[in-house]
Amino acid sequence: MTAVLHDGGAAIGDVYIHDLLVAAGNQTYDSTIDFSSDADSQGTIERVNVFGAEPVGFLLAGHWRILDCSINADDTAIQLAADADRCTIADCDLSQIQYDSYAIIVEGDNNLITGNQIGRTLRIVGDNNLIVANQFPMWNLSVGWALDKTGIRVEGDNNYITANTIWADDPGPGDGSVTTGIDIISGATGNIIGRNNLVDTTTPIVDAGTGTVLPPGMWRTWTPNYTNLTVGNGTVVARVAEIDGLIEVRYRLDFGSTTTIDGTGPTISLPVTASTTGIDANGPPLGLASMKEAGGAHSVGQTFLPSSTTFEIFVTNTAGTYGLPASVTATVPFTWGENDIFAFTATYEAA
């Protein structure tokens, strides 16, 4: 590992690097400042401006304060290694990240990221980090930016993210855009998402983690599991919000050419386990359902709860004197095919 400033493979204590201008263009270094050899390293980097860092601006282990710095990087501006903890990155300008990369990578635990201008995705791999009051202007995005069109990507556990502002539309000269404000990856556990300003994002929050705490009433997506229904190349919109234990669900499936209902009574998993007090497969229904044949019939039905973890949708059979719930099948209420719509709502009490 080579760098303009580095620790020489030894622990560095109480270093103060300040008021430095580094023109790092066309360098052969792996990073501009590298103090990553020892978890006992510590110090302060303040008012350091780096132009043309490639691939990494600062690579740090141990305990550091990075204050009021500006990094113009071709790759990652700041990377906190896995053994970096109790670090602070504050009031830095990291808005000029040129290519497909992350602006900040936080691999360690118990770090504070606050008050920064961040121009690419902030990736959180570690645990118990506090991400607060950062601005994500996302300058100079390009159509070819394929790495991660996300403001904050959460892979670790028990992180707290609040009071950040993420703009979806690119205000700079590029022509890309952010599609997801905060993306909580499968396997991430116990993260807390406070009130963040997610401006015009296509999907404000994607939560594939476990035990995520979201602000009351914040809509998020969930990924259902199915029985007797194959989504195939269909398009699913599945959204859920929670307020004080009350769960509100909206679901829609637009059939593709390979979408099928495979048996009698398809079921769809709940985003949050339900209380079954006073509710079972016999009712009362939790919401309304809509089944629309492309260019044809429009049938209605109800959403029922056969268990604490699954929805089942019934269509209203009007053949008799009174409307009765009937199971949905491959041919009921019509023969399902491409461009048909299967949708429902539900409101229920969390367990």
pLDDT (tens digit per residue) in 11-54: 677 889 999 888 765 555 567 888 888 888 899 999 999 887 66
* Residue 301, helix vs strand vs coil: strand
- pTM of structure: 0.70
295: left (phi over 0), alpha (psi -120 to 50) or beta: left
- pLDDT over 90 percentage in the chain: 52
Q: Does residue 177 have a pLDDT over 70?
A: no
What value does the mean pLDDT of the chain take? 86
Instruction: For the beta carbon of residue 321, count every other beta carbon within 10 angstroms.
Output: 6
Measured in degrees and rounded to the nearest 5, phi and psi for residue 117 equal: -100, 115
Topology of the domain comprising 226-349: Immunoglobulin-like (2.60.40)
Nearest to 129 by CA among 109, 152, 102, 156: 109
Whole-angstrom Cα distance, residue 106 to residue 82? 8
Q: Does residue 175 have a pLDDT over 60?
A: no
Nearest to 259 by CA among 233, 280, 298, 289: 233
Whole-angstrom Cα distance, residue 120 to residue 213? 25
Query: Which pLDDT band holds residue 143 (cuts at 50, 70, 90)?
Result: very low
> Do you know the residue count of the chain?
351
Tokens of 311: 């929805």
Integer CA distances (angstroms), 341 to 28, 75, 284, in order? 56, 44, 24
Do residues 140 and 98 touch, judged by C-beta distance below 8 A?
A: yes
Whole-angstrom Cα distance, residue 240 to residue 145? 29
Query: Which pLDDT band holds residue 244 (cuts at 50, 70, 90)?
Result: confident
Tokens of 195: 């009130």
Do residues 62 and 35 touch, judged by C-beta distance below 8 A?
A: yes
Query: Which pLDDT band holds residue 305 (cuts at 50, 70, 90)?
Result: very high
Q: Does residue 253 have a pLDDT over 70?
A: yes
163 or 95, which is more confident?
A: 163
pLDDT (tens digit per residue) in 50-67: 887 667 789 999 999 999
